[in-house]
Amino acid sequence: MTFSDQVLAKNHQFCIINKLAGQPVQPDKTGDINLLDLCKKYFHHNLFLVHRIDRPVSGLVLLAKNNKSAAWLSQLFKSRNVHKTYLALVEGQMPDTSGTLSHIIDDNRTGNKSKIRVAQPEEAEQAAITHYQVLGKTDKYTIVNLHPQTGRHHQIRAQLAAVGCPIQGDVKYGARRGNKDRSISLHAWKLSFQHPVTQEVNSFEAPLPATNLWQACLNIISE
């Protein structure tokens, strides 16, 4: 796959990239080539991050083309007016076929791992919220559709681990074993938002990674 294959949509305001698992969004201590550098080379100018997904996660990343677009896109994320859908393959059995995960995620994390506990009713305003629906099962894993309402550090990863369902490959949060490429089976699948001026609804979807595990997942959810 070339980088042009990762560019799913582009206009004069923003672009949508299908990030590969293991690809850093921005420069880090490894020095590995990152999404911002690839975008600069492809578009011949700097782009602006308005959100990010973890390095081992695949899927949609939205980048702004200029300062003005970065401002209103960042505000959409801040005001929770961007609808995000993730797919995950998890170990174990989810508490119900659908429901809501509500936890307090401690900012005082160690080893880049979030500390988490169940939110009490009086802590509702501070809680990390993720809505979920079980879509099916492979022979080893449960397929879960996730809609994060908030955006905390490692939110989905920590919350799934907290209910006994770590994401496949996510050894940081208790998965039985990791993947050779250090990826985890969490995919930023869909993203949509309404343009604040034109009122046009922009919706995007990232194809699932072309691995045997994800393709087995695709076959099940397409039935």
Selected catalytic residue, list 5, 32, 37, 54: 54
Interacting residues of 203 by C-beta distance below 8 A, sequence separation 6+: 190, 191, 192
d(CA 220, CA 88): 13
d(CA 113, CA 23): 19
The length of the chain is 223
d(CA 90, CA 33): 29
> Is 54 designated active site?
yes
DSSP assignment of 175-195 equals: -SS--TT---SEEEEEEEEE-
d(CA 46, CA 64): 9
199: left (phi over 0), alpha (psi -120 to 50) or beta: left
Q: Nearest-5° angle of CA 102, CA 213, CA 35? A: 70
User: Which residues does the annotation mark as catalytic?
Assistant: 54
